[in-house]
A and B are shown apart, each in its own frame.
Chain A
Amino acid sequence: MNVTAKDVMTPRFHTLAAEMTVSDAVRSFKEATESEGRKIFGMLVTDSSGRMVGMLSMYDILLFIQPKHVRIWGGMDDVDIVGLVDDACHRAGTILVGDIMTTEVISITPDTHLMAVLDIMIKKHIRRIPVVDDDRIAGIVYISDLFYHLVEKMM
Chain B
Amino acid sequence: MGIIQKNTILSELTVWEAMRRQIISLPPEANLAAAINRLIKFKVNAVLVADEEACMGVVSKADIMGAYYAGLPIDLQVSDIMVSPPLFCRMTDTLETVLEQMRHHAVHRLYVRGGGDGAVGVIAYPDIVGILYQYCHECRYSRSRRTDKGGDDPILRFRVKEVMAASVYSHGADEPLFQLMEGLSEYRMGAVLITDDRGAPVGVVSKTDLVLAYKHGRDPGAPARAIMTSPVRSCGEAEYLETAIRKLIFSQIHRIFVFEDDPSRITGVLSLSDAARVRSGSCHACVSSRITVGLPV
Q: A residues within 8 Å of B by Cβ?
A: 60, 63-64, 67-69, 71-73, 75-76, 78-80, 83-84, 87, 94-96, 98-101, 103
Mind listing 15 A-B residue pairs with CB under 8 Å? A60-B41, A63-B41, A64-B41, A67-B252, A69-B249, A73-B250, A83-B251, A84-B250, A87-B251, A87-B252, A95-B40, A95-B212, A96-B216, A99-B37, A99-B212
Q: Which stretch, B51-59, B93-101, B131-139, touches the partner chain A?
A: B131-139
Report the nearest A residue to B251, measured CB to CB.
Answer: A87
| Residues of chain A with a CB closer than 8 A to B40's CB | 95, 99-100
Does B5 reach chain A (CB closer than 8 Å)? Answer: no
Which listed residue, B137, B215, B249, B250, touches A75 by the CB 8 Å rule?
B137
Residues of B within 8 A of A83 (CB): 250-251
**B89: interface (CB < 8 Å):** no
Is A99 within 8 A of B252, CB to CB?
no
**Are the CB atoms of A76 and B215 closer together than 8 Å?**
no
Q: A79-B250, A98-B37 are in contact. Are A69 and B126 (CB under 8 A)?
A: yes
Cα-based distance from A95 to B34 in the complex (angstroms): 15
6 nearest interchain CB pairs?
A68-B252, A100-B41, A68-B43, A99-B40, A72-B130, A69-B130
Q: Give the distance in Å from the alpha carbon of A87 to the alpha carbon of B215 in the complex.
A: 22
Instruction: Write the nearest CB–CB distance from B255 to chain A, whole angstroms.
Output: 14
Closest to A95 in B: B40
Residues on the B chain within 8 Å of A69, using CB: 126-127, 130, 249-250, 252
Considering the chains assembled together, what is the distance between the CA atoms of A60 and B36 in angstroms? Answer: 15
Compute how far the CA of A1 lies from the CA of B138 in the bound complex, rounded to whole angstroms. 65
Is B288 in contact with chain A by the CB < 8 A criterion?
Answer: no
Say yes or no: A72-B133 contact (C-beta < 8 A), given A83-B250, A100-B37, A103-B34: yes
B169 at the interface (CB under 8 A from A): no
Residues of A within 8 A of B250 (CB): 67, 69, 73, 79-80, 83-84
Within 8 A of A (CB), among B120-165: 126-127, 130, 133-134, 137-138, 144
11 further contact pairs, Cβ within 8 A, besides A95-B212, A99-B36, A99-B40 = A64-B41, A68-B252, A69-B252, A71-B130, A72-B134, A75-B134, A75-B138, A87-B252, A94-B212, A95-B40, A103-B34
B116 nearest CB across to chain A (Å): 24
Give the residues in chain A near B137, CB-CB below 8 Å.
Answer: 75-76
A68 engages B41 (CB within 8 Å)? no
CA A124 – CA B138 in complex, angstroms? Answer: 40
Residues of B with C-beta under 8 A to A73: 250
Which residues of chain B are within 8 angstroms of A63 by Cβ–Cβ distance?
A: 41-42
Question: Given A69-B249, A71-B130, A99-B212, are A78 and B41 neighbors across the interface (CB < 8 Å)?
Answer: no
Provide the bound-state CA to CA distance between A60 and B43, in Å.
12
Contact with A along B26-41 (1 / 0, CB 8 A): 0000000010110011
| A64 to B134 CA separation, bound complex (whole angstroms) | 23
Among B36, B212, B249, contact of A72 (Cβ-Cβ < 8 Å): B249
Tell which of B36, B134, B216, B250 has the most Cβ of chain A within 10 Å.
Answer: B250
Q: B208-222 toward A: CB 8 Å interface, digit per residue (1/0)?
A: 000010011000000
Taking CB atoms and an 8 Å cut-off, the chain B residues in 1-52 that contact chain A are 20, 34, 36-37, 40-43
Q: B215 touches which one: A64, A99, A103 (CB < 8 A)? A: A99
Contact of A78 among B42, B127, B144, B212 (CB under 8 A): B144
Bound state CA distance, A12 and B89, in angstroms? 51
